Chain A
Amino acid sequence: MQQFSLSNYEFGFHDKIKPVFSTKKGLSENVVNEISAMKKEPEWMRQIRIRALSLFYAKKLPMWGGDLTKFNFDDIFYYVKPMDKQGRTWDEVPAEIKNTFDKIGIPEAEKKFLSGVGAQYDSEVVYHSISKMLEKKGVIFVDTDTAVQKYPELVKKYFSTIIPAADNKFAALNTAVWSGGSFIYVPKGVRVELPLQAYFRINAKNMGQFERTLIIADEGSYVHYVEGCTAPIYTTDSLHSAVVEILVKKGARVRYTTIQNWSKNVYNLVTKRMFVEEEGFGEWIDANLGSQLTMKYPSVYLKGRKARGEILSLAFAGAGQHQDAGGKAIHLAPETSSVITSKSISKDGGRTSYRGLLKVVKGAKNSKSTVRCDALILDPKSRSDTYPTMDISEERVTIGHEASVSKIGEDQLFYFQSRGISQAQAEVMIVNGFVEPIVRELPMEYAVELNRLIQLEMTGAVG
């Protein structure tokens, strides 16, 4: 009979592994409570999480969009304490990621940060000087965990009011297990000229799977928030399900720019919504380059008279990728206007799908909307779909939608070649030209990096 010694078990097994304070794999009420406890959250937030968890269990997966059948919710860690994310060494980062960094020209420190190697990025220094400037103006810019502790009244007032947990399965999931993300409050009349960037304030530790961002722009204010970056984010996390809620109050303006380039093993399922009040202006600039499957439809709810919304969506799908993206504009008040522009490119068997909703309710008189979706399919293996829905219940409106799908025109290629430019180079220039109307809205450094990234993707220099 074998003797099972407790001492063997305790030491023989454990001493090879560092103690890890993370939740086990899979989701349960225990896990959610543990998360809340680890963050030392007030009871009201824990309640929000628990309620959201039951909604998550109750809701079904969407039957449309990408293929989620292979996804196993029990096979992921819902919360990993920051320290553990640094276990990676530079050697473990895949070569193709390192190559891309070099080719895009990312500086040394950033490379380490982006691949989860570096503990802290110099961003700390940058962040501190920016926050002094913001403090003077009364602008709040912290991570959401901190906001719950420091500004509970503000958070309580707006959290989940724009995207309730019951909205969809992934909103419920996020509400139950969220961690990290940004909280921004801009007081009345204050304009923040410098674009606020996510990684000023966080370091690799907090690059979360379930970020929860909340931005409140009070009357007449302006802020531009930039999330993500062009360099590929290497992560072993397979599910990223963020929620972004934005309230644009009367006469305010918010621009939210996202450049998503998660590694190709990630399922990226995000719910993003802006409520735009009277005379407000909300803009989404959404560039999707990475991930295995992205399902994301930033939306603007135009709730007040003369509210405006603009959604610029760029999607690039290479081998094994499916970008299911688009935008929604809901006109709930008179004289509102929206513009949705989508540009997508698919190559090497990739698939891009534009999914959009344009809804005008009765009473939204004299509203206008223009939707324009253009898709380029670069080779016979690839695929492109367009599913735009227009739901109009008000007669006094002007609504237009146009879409086109094609490959790069032979006559365009020929024109370039007739001037001495090779076909390969011409294709890169034409594709960059195709996305130019969206790229030109990005902050300069991103625009440059994005152009270079497209070039790399086109010439097959990225794996």
Chain B
Amino acid sequence: MLQIKNFYISIGKKEILRGINLQIKKGEIHAIMGPNGAGKTTLAMGIMGSPGYNIKSQISNLKYQIDGEDMFNKLPEEKARKGLFVSFQQPVEITGVSVLSFLRTAYKALHPNEKIALSVFKEEVKKALKAVALSEDFMLRSLNEGFSGGEKKRAEIAQLLVLHPKFVILDEIDSGLDVDSLKIVAAVIRDAVKKYKIGILVITHYQRILHYLRPDYVHVLIDGKIKKSGGMSLVRVIEKDGYAAI
């Protein structure tokens, strides 16, 4: 279980999130919706521990645990090794480091006791790329370099399929994807959830992807707080009447 209690997150001195509570169990799909500026990406970056995003630590009742272990002062790589994965809104480009070597190194770091031969690993990567409709060539290309917006998002999902995380946060995976890619990505995610019992937190920009993903829980984030939580019905309310209805 990924558990967050009483999260206050600020960027520099500016407080963005005020008291967020979330509990994501294995195999559950949670969605976060909200208007621009609500703090959705801040939540993803704060959970992973991106520099610049500060979780206020002097709050009482503050909790941040993955599978019962405290994640507070852990480094990002330690969180990743506990099974956390974030698909970023704007994945960074790294010249000269191929997708393959990046994934191989990450896999070794995340699963140190497993030994997979390179040839087998390459097949895994190719399979993952295929699943998100990216050609094999992407394997040897420099990480995210020159990828279109949609390709970057799909490449993030391919990484997820190779690295086998336990808890996944998808930060606006839907912005930059056309309808067909959206359907493919949603299907891949649902499949992974079913097969590996991954816990997912989908942060959405539009609501459309939720119709394909069918989350178990929907939370509406407005002005730094989760104003309301519910099921798919909440999505329909917002679609009809906007965020003002909440």
Are A and B direct contacts in the complex by CB distance below 8 Å?
yes
Chain A: minimal CB distance from B45 (Å): 9
Rounded to whole angstroms, the CA-CA distance of A347 and B193 in the bound complex is: 45
Whether, in the assembled complex, B11 has its beta carbon less than 8 Å from a beta carbon of chain A, the answer is no
Q: How far is the CB of A406 from the nearest CB of chain B, in Å?
A: 12
Asked if A463 lies at the interface with its beta carbon under 8 angstroms from chain B, I say: no
With A410-B51, A419-B163, A423-B77 given, is the CB distance from A434 to B95 under 8 Å? yes
User: Which residue of A409, A414, A429, A435 contacts B76 across the interface (Cβ within 8 Å)?
Assistant: A414
CA distance A410 to B50 in the complex (A): 9
Tell whether B110 is near chain A: CB-to-CB under 8 Å.
yes
Contact with B109, one of A422, A430, A435 (Cβ below 8 angstroms):
A422
A436 & B95 in contact (Cβ 8 Å cutoff): yes
For window 71-117 of B, CB contacts with A under 8 Å fall at 75-77, 79-81, 85-86, 88, 91-92, 94-97, 101-102, 105-106, 109-110
B109 touches A418 (CB 8 A): no
Assess whether B105 is in contact with A429, with CB atoms less than 8 Å apart: yes
Contact present for A433 and B77 (CB under 8 Å): no
Query: Given A417-B75, A432-B96, A433-B95, A425 and B105 touching (CB < 8 A)?
Result: yes
Instruction: Give the contact-size bracket for chain A.
Output: 20 to 34
Nearest chain B CB to A183 CB, angstrom units: 36
**Number of A-B pairs, beta carbon distance below 8 Å:** 80
Q: Which residues in chain B, 109-130, are within 8 Å of chain A measured between CB atoms?
A: 109-110
Establish whether residues A422 and B77, one from each chain, have CB atoms under 8 Å apart when the complex forms.
yes
B205 to nearest A CB, angstroms? 20
Q: List chain A residues, Cβ under 8 A from B86.
A: 418
B220 to chain A, nearest CB (A): 26
Interface size in chain B (residues, C-beta < 8 A): 27
Q: Are B96 and A434 in contact (CB under 8 A)?
A: yes
Q: Which of B140-186 contact A (CB under 8 A)?
A: 142, 159, 163
Tell me which residues across on chain A come within 8 A of B80, comparing CB atoms.
417-420
Name 18 extra pairs, CB < 8 A, besides A414-B76, A415-B91, A415-B92: A409-B92, A412-B94, A414-B50, A414-B92, A416-B77, A417-B76, A417-B77, A418-B79, A419-B106, A419-B163, A420-B109, A420-B163, A421-B109, A422-B75, A425-B109, A434-B96, A435-B96, A436-B97
Enumerate 19 A-B pairs (CB-CB under 8 Å) in ascending A order.
A409-B92, A412-B94, A414-B50, A416-B102, A416-B106, A417-B75, A417-B76, A417-B80, A418-B80, A418-B85, A419-B85, A420-B81, A421-B109, A422-B109, A429-B94, A429-B97, A429-B101, A435-B96, A436-B142
